[in-house]
Amino acid sequence: MTTRHDPQLLGAYVLGALDEQEVREMDEHLASCPDCARELGELRDMEAFLGEVPPEAMLDGPPEGGDLLLQRTLRQVRSERGGVARRRQFALGAAAAVVAALVLGAGVFVGKATSPDVTALPTPTVAPDPAGTRLATFTDPLTKASMTVKVVPAAGWVRTNMAINGIPEGEKCRIFVVAKDGSRQEAGSWVVSKKGAAEGTNLDGSALVDPKDVKSVVVENFAGKKFVEVPVPA
């Protein structure tokens, strides 16, 4: 039997999805068909390229909104993985789909550009802080505790983010936002962990203090010992 010129069978041959008899027939055909031999070289190059794709890509597929043909192909790869009895069916279908996608210029395959003209995916942007956000830092000369605080204004209250270092493990602490009239509103509390004592702690909080009235942010333990107070600029 002479194997006919069939790109799909070539794909199955490259993927090792043919039986022994079919492999022998394909070997004989390749020896007498320069066109198939050339296509075989191109398919092996493609196989090497696909081998560079990380396993996570084959689990999750291309990015949301990516090429639909490639998404369908990868879903078929997942459904056929481990299905030895259906191996050839997958090779003929999925391999042909991948070949078609690459040959027809699908553009992007799991984040790899196949053309210099492909537009890069946009980089996610982070929204800027609202107007009136204030940032301050201070280290207490006695306790050696330090804190960097960000105060974000809201409608009659504030959100806070604190990066705190230098407080001993096991301390039960509170965070207060201090107003210009001396009143204080608690913005949060926590127990300093071993990791927090060694590497610092980052906390979010909120307090019912008018943004324009914030004077400082202070950290103290439940016994009233002050570790650090950061003045917040107007």
The C-alpha angle 12, 37, 69, rounded to 5 degrees, equals 40
Q: Is residue 106 part of a domain?
A: no
Number of domains into which the chain is organized: 2
Helix, strand, coil shares, percent, the chain, to 5:
35, 25, 35
Q: Is residue 143 part of a domain?
A: yes
Q: Is residue 128 part of a domain?
A: no
User: Is the Cα torsion angle 209, 210, 211, 215 positive or negative in sign?
Assistant: negative
Q: Is 136 helix (H, G, I), strand (E, B) or coil?
A: strand
Q: Is residue 184 part of a domain?
A: yes
Range of the structural domain that residue 151 is part of? 134-231
**What are the tokens at 45?**
């190059």
Residue with tokens 């009136």: 132
Q: Is residue 220 part of a domain?
A: yes
Q: Is residue 85 part of a domain?
A: no
Q: Is residue 86 part of a domain?
A: no
pTM exceeds 0.85 for this model: no
Query: Residues 115-154: pLDDT tens digits?
Result: 445 455 566 566 788 888 999 999 999 999 999 999 999 9
Distances (CA, A) of 124 to 1, 63, 64: 57, 13, 14
Instruction: Give the residues of the chain that fall short of pLDDT 70.
Output: 1-8, 10-11, 14, 17, 45-126
Query: Residues 20-31: pLDDT tens digits?
Result: 888 888 788 777
CATH number of the domain enclosing 219: 2.60.40.150
Q: Is residue 163 part of a domain?
A: yes
Q: Within its chain, how far is the Cα of 67 from the centroid?
A: 19
**What are the tokens at 225?**
């010992």
Among the candidates 38, 54, 70, a domain finishes at 54
